[in-house]
Structure 1
Amino acid sequence: MDVVEEKQPLTTTTGKASPVGLKDDVIHIMDKLTIHQPKQQIISVVGMGGTGKTTLALNVYENPFVKEHFHIRAWAIVSKQYSAKEIFSKLLSSIGQSGSETDLGLKLHQSLWESVGNEIIRLCRGLPLSIVVIGGFLLKSPKTVGFWEDVAKNIKSIPNSTEKQEILDVLFLSYSHLPPHLKPCFLYMGIFREDREIRASRIIKLWVAEGFIKPKRAQMLEEIAEGYLNDLVDRNLVLVGRHRSNGKIRSCRLHDLIRDLCLKVSEKDKFFYAKRAPDNMTKVKEY
């Protein structure tokens, strides 16, 4: 990152500066900032003193479109002689917060994340299962504010309905983002009764027999299937019942609403059709 010393440091961001001759530069920088990028980016504005670098940056910073696009903006002056404490303090001050010298960096990080995270929790309407599953989904997703904001928008677009349907809609969002190799394995869990312990070895053998496991060199199909199961557990789509003495999963179970999702998607996609049965396993009719 290029650091440019300013002869007259800007002390406020509320003043209006006139970007004479800088209109094209403002538009160019705004395009770079607002076009969706998968990673964070740094845009350097360099040049001799007095050529309008600060004026240019300020006009981009205060532009109404930029304000609407970024839910958090912060401003700080960095000179050749600087301290991290001072920079963090200025950034926190820009977003209306303060903190001690030891936790400035942590507090700034939390301020940038905790807001979109709280919005996602709010959109889950306080439903614990939705929050847990979305949390597992975000754990395996890109750790960028932009991606989390897209998730919030997707949840927000879900129409208001009954509480059960709201949960299923949120759970479907997590299912739709599953890698292709995990989707049939997850849907297959619908053949088991909800909230009953299922031996992990039984699940793995059935997955292998159905041909759901993609072979890899120097790795047995059962080992790969075990990794698939762990991945579904990490996403909170499958719950662990008991562990073995070596830490591996001995048994697992399925929440009734997650099983409802499996059955609905399976029937819709013609994966299988299930009927209730009195034993531990649901009778399955394959299409």
Structure 2
Amino acid sequence: MSEDVVEMDRNDLEDLQQRNSLSATSSKFASTNKCAMVGFDDDLLQIKERLIGQSSMLKIISIVGMGGIGKTTLARNVYNDSYIVHYFDIRAWITVSQEYNVQELLTSLLNSMTDLGHKLYEMKIEELKETLNKKLQCNRYLIVMDDVWETNAWEEVRRLFLDKNNGSRIILTTRLSNVAVYADSSGPVHHMNFLSLEQSLKLLNKEVFGEECCPSELEGIGTTIAKQCKGLPLALVVIGGLLNKSEKTRAYWEYVAKNVKSAVTGNYDDFVEILSLSYNHLPHHLRTCFLYMGVFPEDYVIHVSYLIRLWVAEGFLKPIIPKSLEEVAKEYLEDLIDRNLIMVQDRSYSGELKTCSIHDLIRDLIVRKAQEEKFLHVMNQKVKISPGIIKN
């Protein structure tokens, strides 16, 4: 992490905020029209093909990826596709999130399917289930369950959707691979990938200039900014909104390029909120291991065997008899990977993890969170474990 990012001058940050009064967007930015559908053409086609495939059985399609990578954007664009709208008799969208209530989810579902209005809020849960059953019974339906965090949440809601062998479909979005696989182990999980540099630049320009072209004097520095967002759509949208509301001069864009990650993670609560959700959802035994990843430099390819030795030496692992600490560490690491917080770089032919890495913006948030919790401290551009940290 550069010293500019770690110790960006407070006056510069305040100046950045004052000169760019971007209004707060919803933390569900992907469900609005603001997030341009850039770089997802192949994903859109693949999901549509699975929705209208030949099987008449009820099918579940899981979309999985890290926070801010565009899962909700993709699902929303599929949901609103004109062909899909006409293909399904009923469509409904519910956001499940970490804290969910089955009765509220049922009410939300029926609210989008019926005109019962306030009557829904007077119904007991069994009445809601019966009403939903009747509504779905003779119709081909598409249900989107956005932001599912728990297999229990899926299990509670899944049993409400009957299979009438009429081509109905459920789309589920989640950050957690285990939830995606649990929802439907028979079908392939749709993994979201980072945008290419070309796609990133296209999305950035669309957010900043709309349908207009980027001025030639800003093209080079624009490419630099896009590259620094490392293919994460949320980062590109946040930076694009910032640049859209600011003076479009080379000097200012160079300033933003120099501090792009501080601009993203320091100024916009939505960005921090979205990515912090994943951290807040971590069980305690994984938090210290995750925060420890901040000691590695940006873009560093981490050898798993070395990482495991470090975790063991630091005392982060909770013994699980009869497993060795190395086995426990591998399970911890796989869990973090399943949560899309750590990226696999290489596996052996047998599937054994060899190397891994973390996205730069995730790393910045790790360092920020670790400093807040006094787990890490930054000195002379190097991140170190703070003395006296609490271990498991």
TM-score (normalizing by structure 1)? 0.50
Matched, 1:253 2:311: no
Gaps of 5+ in 2: 1-99, 107-114, 144-162, 184-240, 243-262, 388-392
Which residue number corresponds to residue 64 of structure 1? Answer: 118
Query: Structure 1 residues 94 and 173 mapped into 2: Cα distance closer, same or farther (>3 Å)?
Result: closer
Query: What SS does structure 1 have at the residue aligned with 2:276?
Result: helix
Q: Which has the higher contact order (CA 8 A, sep 6+)?
A: 2
For 1:275 and 1:179, the matched residues in 2 are separated by 29
Give 1:75 shift. 5.4
For 1:195 and 1:74, the matched residues in 2 are separated by 49
Counterpart code for 2:352: K
Give 1:246 shift. 1.7
Q: Is the 1:74–1:92 Cα contact (8 Å) retained in structure 2? A: no
Query: Deviation digits for residues 40-72 of structure 1, max 9, x if unmatched?
Result: 99xxxxxxxxxxxxxxxxxxx9361516998xx
Give 1:254 shift. 1.0
Query: Structure 1 residues 265 and 68 mapped into 2: Cα distance closer, same or farther (>3 Å)?
Result: farther
Query: What SS does structure 1 have at the residue aligned with 2:355?
Result: strand
Root mean square deviation, CA, Å:
4.2
Give 1:217 shift. 1.1
Give 1:272 shift. 1.4
Query: What SS does structure 1 have at the residue aligned with 2:176?
Result: helix
Aligned with 2:168 (options 91, 108, 123): 108
Matched, 1:135 2:175: yes
Counterpart code for 1:108: S
Give 1:274 shift. 2.6
Spell out the pairing of 1:259-274 with structure 2 (5 A cutoff). 259-274=363-378
**Bigger radius of gyration among the two:** 1
Give 1:183 shift. 0.7
Which residue number corresponds to residue 242 of structure 1? Answer: 346
Counterpart code for 1:220: S
Which residue number corresponds to residue 283 of structure 2? Answer: 179
For 1:216 and 1:94, the matched residues in 2 are separated by 43
Query: What SS does structure 2 have at the residue aligned with 1:182?
Result: helix
Query: What SS does structure 2 have at the residue aligned with 1:241?
Result: strand
Q: Is the 1:199–1:252 Cα contact (8 Å) retained in structure 2? A: yes
Aligned with 2:313 (options 209, 217, 237): 209
TM-score (normalizing by structure 2)? 0.38
Which residue number corresponds to residue 300 of structure 2? Answer: 196
Give 1:203 shift. 0.9
For 1:108 and 1:68, the matched residues in 2 are separated by 29
Give 1:109 shift. 4.2
For 1:208 and 1:218, the matched residues in 2 are separated by 16
For 1:208 and 1:137, the matched residues in 2 are separated by 26
Query: What SS does structure 1 have at the residue aligned with 2:283?
Result: coil
Query: Structure 1 residues 194 and 139 mapped into 2: Cα distance closer, same or farther (>3 Å)?
Result: farther
Which residue number corresponds to residue 167 of structure 1? Answer: 271
Q: Which has the higher strand share?
A: 2
Spell out the pairing of 1:152-163 with structure 2 (5 A cutoff). 163=264
For 1:93 and 1:194, the matched residues in 2 are separated by 45
Counterpart code for 1:268: E
Query: Deviation digits for residues 113-142 of structure 1, max 9, x if unmatched?
Result: 56xx5xxxxxxxxxxxxxxxx523783799
Query: Structure 1 residues 202 and 236 mapped into 2: Cα distance closer, same or farther (>3 Å)?
Result: same
For 1:202 and 1:178, the matched residues in 2 are separated by 23
For 1:68 and 1:248, the matched residues in 2 are separated by 54
